[in-house]
Amino acid sequence: MSTPAEQLTGQMLDGGWVVGDLIPRTAAQTGGHFSCSYGVTNRDGRKAFLKAMDYTSALKSLDPATELNILTSAFIFERQVLQVCADRKMSRIVRAIGGGKSSVAGSVVEYLIFEEAKGDIRTYLDDAKRFDLVWTLTCIHNICVGVRQLNGASIAHQDLKPSNVLHFSNEGQKLADLGRAWHKSLFSPHDGLACAGDLGYAPPELLYRYVTPDESERRFGADFYLVGSMVLFLFTGMRASQILISELDPHHSPRVWLGTYEEMLPYLSHAFSLNLATVTRSFPDTVLGEEIVDVLQQMCDPNIATRGDRLHRAKYGSRFGLERFVQRFDRLRQAAILGRIHHP
């Protein structure tokens, strides 16, 4: 039987939005799902994406009050964070362009409406069928800008991955899904988790269950790593933790290793330096190769204590600021447009 959140099709919502068809859930979402998605069309012809909260599974859980509290808190947090982004006019964060409540089958369904993208960057890359250096560097630049905008408002994204970087025809790339984010002064039910985002993309300290005492360092250090991981993904199709683990002895993989992160660090540092050497060799253009490897060296250092931009720290007091990377990728993008650098 459909839940109220699954019965929105055809509804006219505030702001002139008409709800279209339900976007089918994937196999992984059909278990404990907490939201469902629709395409929506405005009276003026604009198309958008609607995310409706679905509390049904929480009500059926063993502890409905707690589960419901978590879901509603998460929704309130996401709405508040999106408001912060809107107030600060963050150009590289997917905007919530509407939201509200709708009554369906005697229940109230809360929703958010987001600007609609053409798809995530994987879709773009599949359609493109060839490597485009200018597009890649532009995309990285946009990701850096997006994370800088969030970090500048004391928000850590925490779940930066290819599926959360959306591609827009006219505006380029924007970061989506702030559901697992962290804000310095807003409460989120995920705040107690060491790794709120997808562990499959997480930096080594989180993969090896190390929690730095300094929360800002932990959150922004992870975002910094994830940006570097996206740089690697866009050039190679691989993420930073993947190539790191590929270089490790199988006994040292996060699934198998039963020791501490501190004990693993020398092995991680060694694997990382071997990775960098391999990545360097894969760039025929040595200028571009040196730039990318330097970026990876700073961003994807498995040691959170040494990760970061030392020059940024000297100037602004934080190792994880992205200002210099925004400038750097803008400069590289210009160089690519002018044909001064090439890849592959």
Partner 1 sequence: MSAGYHDRDRHIFPRWRSFAATSELGELAQPAVEIKNDTSELDISLAKGIAGWEGSSSLWRGLDLLGTAVVAGRLEEFSALVAEIKSNPLTPKITREFLERTHGDKSVQLQLPGCDAISGQASRHEIRAHRLHLASAPRDPIEWMELARSYTIAGLNDKAAKAVLAALQLAPDNRFVLRSAARFFIHIGEKDIAHGLMSRSRLITHDPWIMASEIAIADSMGKTSRISKIAREKMEADVAPSELTELASALGSVEADGGNHRIARRFLRRALDGANENSIAQIRWLNRSRLNRSDSEDAVDVSRANPPLLHEANAWAAFHKGEFDIARKESLCWLRDQPFASAPAVLNSYIASALFLDFEAGKETALESLRSNPDDPMLVNNLAVCLMEIGDLAAAETYLSRLSVEGRSGVMEATYKATYGMLEFRKGNIEEGRRLYQEAIEKAKNSSDKGTAARAAFHLAFEELVAHTTHVDEAIKRLKEFEGQDDFVERARFFERVNELMRND
Alpha helices in the chain (DSSP H): 56-59, 64-87, 121-128, 133-152, 204-207, 215-236, 240-247, 261-281, 286-299, 310-316, 323-337
Contact letters for partner 1, residues 250-289 (x by CB under 8 A): xxxxxxxxxxx-xx-xxx-xx-xx--xxxxx-x-------
Helix (H, G, I), strand (E, B) or coil at 344: coil
The residue assigned the tokens 């309130």 is 76
Contact letters for partner 1, residues 148-177 (x by CB under 8 A): -------------xxx--------------
Identity of the residue, 85 or 232, whose beta carbon is nearer to partner 1 in the bound complex: 232
Helix (H, G, I), strand (E, B) or coil at 282: coil
Size of the site for partner 1 (CB under 8 A): 65
Would residue 129 be called left, alpha or beta, if left means φ above 0 and alpha means ψ between -120 and 50 degrees? Answer: left
Identity of the residue, 17 or 320, whose beta carbon is nearer to partner 1 in the bound complex: 320
Cβ(173)–Cβ(71) below 8 Å: no
Identity of the residue, 148 or 307, whose beta carbon is nearer to partner 1 in the bound complex: 307
What is the rounded CA–CA span in Å between residue 337 and residue 18? 42
- 206-235: contacts with partner 1 (CB under 8 A): 207, 209, 233, 235
- 95-124: contacts with partner 1 (CB under 8 A): 121-123
DSSP string, 59-82: HTSSSHHHHHHHHHHHHHHHHHHH
What is the rounded CA–CA span in Å between residue 106 and residue 76? 22
Buried b or exposed e, range 306-325, using 16+ CB within 10 angstroms: ebbbeebeeeeebbbbbbeb
Cβ at position 326, least distance to partner 1 in Å: 24
Contact letters for partner 1, residues 21-60 (x by CB under 8 A): -----xxxx-------------------------------
What is the rounded CA–CA span in Å between residue 5 and residue 2? 8
Cβ at position 299, least distance to partner 1 in Å: 15
Cβ at position 166, least distance to partner 1 in Å: 14
Q: Which stretch binds partner 1 (CB under 8 A): 7-15, 90-98, 170-178, 245-253?
A: 245-253
Identity of the residue, 60 or 270, whose beta carbon is nearer to partner 1 in the bound complex: 270
Residue ranges binding partner 1 (CB under 8 A)? 26-29, 121-123, 125-126, 129-131, 161-163, 195, 198-201, 207, 209, 233, 235-239, 241-243, 245-246, 249-260, 262-263, 265-267, 269-270, 272-273, 276-280, 282, 293, 297, 303, 306, 344
